[in-house]
Amino acid sequence: MELLYTMKIHELHDKLVAKEISAKELTESVFSRIDEVEGRVGSYLTLTREGAFEQAAMVDKKIAAGKKIGPLAGIPTAIKDVMCTEGTRTTCASKILENYVPIYTSTAVQNLLDEGIVMTGKTNMDEFAMGSSTENSRFFPTRNPWDLERVPGGSSGGSAAAVAADEAIFSLGSDTGGSIRQPAALCGIVGMKPTYGLVSRYGLVAFASSLDQIGPFTKDVRDCAIVLNYLVGHDSLDSTSVKIDKPDYTKALSDDLKGVRIGVPKELMVEGIDPKVRETVENALAVFAKNGAIVAETSLPNIDYALSAYYIIAPAEASSNLARFDGVRYGYRAPDAEDIMDMYMRTRAEGFGDEVKRRIMLGTYALSAGYYEAYYGQAQKVRTLIIRDFNKAFEEFDVLVSPTSPTVAFKIGERIDNPLQMYLSDICTIPVNLAGIPAISVPCGTVDGLPVGLHIMGKALGEEMLLRVAYSFEQNFGWNEKPAL
């Protein structure tokens, strides 16, 4: 029999309903896999084994009582350690929150718990979601299951590696500039950033509030649609939460692309993209055309300025959001302070890592007197230009595609001393966050044995079209390689 931990949500749900397996057996299978590979991969900061078996027992009781269970019931799930979980420590991979135990649960996680998921644990990440490699974790780096000498991407590297290494059936991440899609690409799995406001941010520790969005990592596109069905929903606790009539996203999974117009922004296929990655993506485009889609080149003329605007806007918002970590109400406090200012200064100096400090200082600078207009004001105007570019392209096209990451997974340590080079990892994903639109990364092959992600971008609230295009690609491309661990 196929090992349970390798299977997908929709396959496992059928087995649970048919009573071929129990949630307990499934949970045992996933934890046996964790015990086997976690020492090498390092996906998790905290394992919640005990709670997981309690949750599994509740699902088994429900099944035994003949009650109906939803598609996520009993499914082992990993949560990025940036989402608050009541009673389970939530660290953001930072020393400043090392011992923080939330007194409430984030809405996104609660929605899944209400559906009966089995939470396996909290996953590693770049500190406060700032980074593209998970090397900025204050605890340890996570390794890419495809090559343990390489990074899994970031910032949600632990959540991506957990699914790629079969240490969870699916997971949640957060995406501010590519932090779901880039690690999904580098780990050879599916990752989606939904439209801004579609998934509640309540209980998500804020990095850049106008850009942050929670989304799923899954083993295939059908699983992505299933999870989205339970993540999406209006939440009165998040004032940016959108109100829509929620569709059944699994209904969008159609193989047919007849008449679908797919645009390829030329700016995202040239400079800085590894030629082998580009070639892999070009081959993927042929699959769309074969399935009835119209594929043509388009342009996002101001996209070259997106990275620059992002590295003003995101740090500016971060510098404000992270002001709350002052050692007073929760988190780390530097010992033996002379007075309160000494306590603030040392708590933050000792509690934050270098990348977080860089971004706080960058944002403080961009917002400070004399520089505000030139940096922050100008960046917000550039954001308007980028939104207009997307709107114009979407007049002609239903979706836009590009590589997710300009390169395959890079070596641990390779970019850590060069912040700007690290930032360039997100050159294709960042424009999407600035525009608030949804995007998905699906595997589209390998280069030198390492996965490449295809990035599909859609109109605001266009998740159904994204899923349709991604599903059709997946069905026809037929890629199902797994890392040899």
Partner 1 sequence: MAISEKDVKHVAWLARLAITDAEVQKFAQQLDVILEHAGKIAELDTENIPPTSHAIPLRNVLREDTLGACLTPEAALSNAPKKEDQAFVVPRIV
Please list every residue from 105 through 164 that binds partner 1, using CB under 8 A: none
Catalytic residue among 179, 241, 319, 402: 179
Q: Which of residues 182-211 bind partner 1 (CB under 8 A)?
A: 195-197, 210
Nearest-approach distance from CB 243 to partner 1, in angstroms: 10
CB 43 within 8 A of CB 142: yes
280 DSSP β-pair partners: none
32 is catalytic: no
| Nearer of residues 276 and 333 to partner 1, judged by Cβ | 333
| Nearer of residues 37 and 460 to partner 1, judged by Cβ | 460
CA distance 84 to 9: 24
Tell me how crowded residue 287 is: count the other CB atoms within 10 A of its CB.
20
Nearest-approach distance from CB 82 to partner 1, in angstroms: 17
Q: Which of residues 33-92 bind partner 1 (CB under 8 A)?
A: none
Nearest to 313 by CA among 242, 384, 369, 400: 384
The 3-state secondary structure of 277-320 reads HHHHHHHHHHHHHHCCCEEEEECCCCHHHHHHHHHHHHHHHHHH
CA distance 162 to 187: 10
CB 424 within 8 A of CB 121: no
Catalytic residue among 22, 43, 80, 472: 80
Nearest-approach distance from CB 330 to partner 1, in angstroms: 3
Nearest-approach distance from CB 403 to partner 1, in angstroms: 21
| Nearer of residues 139 and 330 to partner 1, judged by Cβ | 330
Residue 358 touches partner 1, criterion: CB under 8 A? yes
Nearest to 362 by CA among 434, 427, 417, 423: 423
Catalytic residue among 22, 155, 171, 241: 155
The 3-state secondary structure of 16-67 reads HHCCCCCHHHHHHHHHHHHHHHHHHHCCEEEECHHHHHHHHHHHHHHHHCCC
Q: Which of residues 367-426 bind partner 1 (CB under 8 A)?
A: 368, 374-375, 377-385, 387, 419-420, 423
At position 75, the amino acid (one-letter code) is: I
Q: Which of residues 325-344 bind partner 1 (CB under 8 A)?
A: 326-333, 337-344
Query: 138: exposed, middle or buried (C-beta count within 10 Å: 0-12, 13-18, 19+)?
Result: buried
Size of the site for partner 1 (CB under 8 A): 72
Residue 244 touches partner 1, criterion: CB under 8 A? no
The region of 181-189, 266-274, 321-329, 408-416 touching partner 1 under the rule CB under 8 A is 321-329
Nearest-approach distance from CB 28 to partner 1, in angstroms: 33
Residue 436 touches partner 1, criterion: CB under 8 A? yes
| Nearer of residues 146 and 352 to partner 1, judged by Cβ | 352
179 is catalytic: yes
The region of 160-168, 301-309, 448-456, 470-478 touching partner 1 under the rule CB under 8 A is 301-309
Type and span of the H or E element at 71:
none
Residue 1 touches partner 1, criterion: CB under 8 A? no
368 is catalytic: no
Nearest-approach distance from CB 357 to partner 1, in angstroms: 6
Residue 180 touches partner 1, criterion: CB under 8 A? no
Residue 437 touches partner 1, criterion: CB under 8 A? yes
Examine residue 155 and say whether the peptide bond preceding it is cis (omega within 30 degrees of 0): yes
Residue 95 touches partner 1, criterion: CB under 8 A? no
Question: Which residues lie below 8 Å from residue 186, measured CB to CB, with a gap of 6+?
Answer: 144, 150, 151, 152, 153, 160, 405, 408, 409, 450, 451, 453
| Nearer of residues 44 and 332 to partner 1, judged by Cβ | 332
State the DSSP code for 413. T
CA 67 to chain centre: 33
Tell me how crowded residue 68 is: count the other CB atoms within 10 A of its CB.
8
Q: Which of residues 262-291 bind partner 1 (CB under 8 A)?
A: none
x/- track of binding to partner 1 for residues 218-237 (CB under 8 A): ------------------x-
Nearest-approach distance from CB 381 to partner 1, in angstroms: 4
Q: Which two tokens stand for residue 229?
A: 């069905």
Please identify every residue annotated as catalytic. 80, 155, 179
